[in-house]
Amino acid sequence: MSDFLATIYPWTKALHVMSVIAWMAGLFYLPRLFVYHAESVTPGSETDALFKTMEVKLLRLIMNPAMIAVWIFGLALVFTPGIVAWSEIWPWVKAACVLAMTWFHHWLGRRRKEFLRGENRLTGRTYRMMNEVPTLLMVGIVLSVIVKF
């Protein structure tokens, strides 16, 4: 199996990077939709229904499949011989950031369900601040993988 993973390594890495890009796009965009939904939309209006549709489609059709692909290809990279040196700090930093990113994804999913039920209690300002979370985690991930600190 390890020979197979080593053989397909360039493909696995490419598919992992593409999946990360798609997932990150959603992680940046969904909180921004929540900002506008919380600040500018009257519950029960046509615009409310439009935002709910956009949010659910972004989460279910783009973000969820992308997150799953990130995990599948990421784990394949982890199990490829010679790629990860677990005796170093960087893979542990990256793993912690990826787990936090996954938590954030699920946090967004819970907020979407609150909007769906008309029970959102958070402000646009809160969503603006939370919109910075994936950026901070991305910095940790990229620096850990590229600089290998």
pLDDT digits (tens, 9 = 90+) for 106-118: 999 999 999 999 9
Q: How far is Cα 5 from Cα 21, in angstroms, rounded to an integer? A: 22
* Regions of the chain where pLDDT drops below 70: none
pLDDT value, residue 1: 76
Total domains in the fold of the chain: 1
Name the pTM for this structure. Answer: 0.94
Mean pLDDT of the chain: 96
Q: Which residues contact 90 (CB under 8 A, 6 or more apart)?
A: 144, 145, 147, 148, 149
pLDDT in tens, 86-105: 999 999 999 999 999 999 99
Look up the domain containing 130 and give its range.
2-146
Distance spanning both ends of the chain, measured CA to CA: 29
| pLDDT score at 41 | 95
